[in-house]
Amino acid sequence: MASYTLREVRQTINQLWDESTAAGWDRVGLAIGNPEQPVTHALLAVDVTRQIVAEAKERGADLLLTHHPLLLRGVHSLAEDTAKGSLAAALIRANIAQIAAHTNADQAMEGVSAEIAHRLGLNNLEPLEPGETEQTGIGRVGELADPLPLRKFAEMLSEILPETAGGVRVAGSEKQMVKRVALCGGAGDSLLNNQRVLTADVYVTSDLRHHPAQEALEQHLVAGGPALIDISHWAAESLWLATAAKQLGELLPEITITVSEINTDPWVFRV
């Protein structure tokens, strides 16, 4: 079976999502694996969970490439009665390497937020916070070809996302018109006061909590600002996996690349 070394695969991953462009607090790149080990099959997923590791084993994958890092915060033990220790041990025993492309994939030109923007058909895209070039950076803002009432826009957004228990939650009036759309894949409440967010008609992101959302909406009543839409963190970021797999496949034609079909949204039902 054809293969590359993990070192070669990591270099290729770096061509697409340069580790050096990740945020200072982030921990991207290789977390588990020997650079000389062969890679024949990469499985792509948003998260490293027990279910995803089991899926990687079942599929015979020897690399798990995820959006979220396995080890973002410091750990002081890999004991297997800890979640991180148990996941790391399972990967090592199965000879599965693990690499994360997180904020380096968020800010890429064809990265996580750009993917959501493309699926919504937004034009004239710009990042919310520019990165190294004008086309890269965190979040995106762009325009719909034809304005839509907020309710219709939310319905369109719901259609491009995989189904989740939380669905799509909207703060705003159903009839207000939306043309300029700001969005940020993942948890984007730190950008609620971003100038490009404030001048958009709607801001789409994930993990919006009561106080930041309510305070932003009250501020918008006195100074103007967008409607807010809260979507599943997993659903938003999972859209990027297919594009990532395609880009990687073009650079690594000798190996199998698959995208996980497991929903790792923590919320599984609503009553």
Residue placing its CB nearer to Zn ion in the complex, 122 or 239: 239
The smaller minimum CB distance to Zn ion, of residues 46 and 255, is found at 46
Least spacing, CB of residue 49 vs Zn ion, in Å = 14
Minimum Å gap between C-beta 68 and Zn ion is 6
What distance in Å separates the CA atoms of residue 204 and residue 267, rounded to the nearest whole number? 19
CA distance 234 to 257: 20
For residue 218, the Cα-to-chain-centroid distance in whole angstroms is: 29
Q: Are strands 129-130 and 177-187 parallel, antiparallel or unpaired?
A: unpaired
Asked if 182 and 202 count as a contact pair (C-beta separation under 8 A), the reply is yes
Shortest approach of Zn ion to residue 59 CB, angstroms? 23
* Strands (DSSP E) found in 109-153: 123-126, 129-130, 137-138, 140-149
Residue nearest to Zn ion (CB): 186
Q: Judged by CB, which is closer to Zn ion: 138, or 178? A: 138
Residue closer to Zn ion by CB (options 101, 178) is: 101
Strands 41-45 and 63-66, how do they pair? parallel
**Least distance between Zn ion and beta carbon 253 (Å):** 29
Nearer to Zn ion, 73 or 175 (CB): 73
Binding-site ranges for Zn ion (CB under 5 A): 186
**Cα(140)–Cα(124) distance, integer angstroms:** 10
Beta bridge partners of 169: 230
**CB of residue 182 to Zn ion, shortest distance in Å:** 17
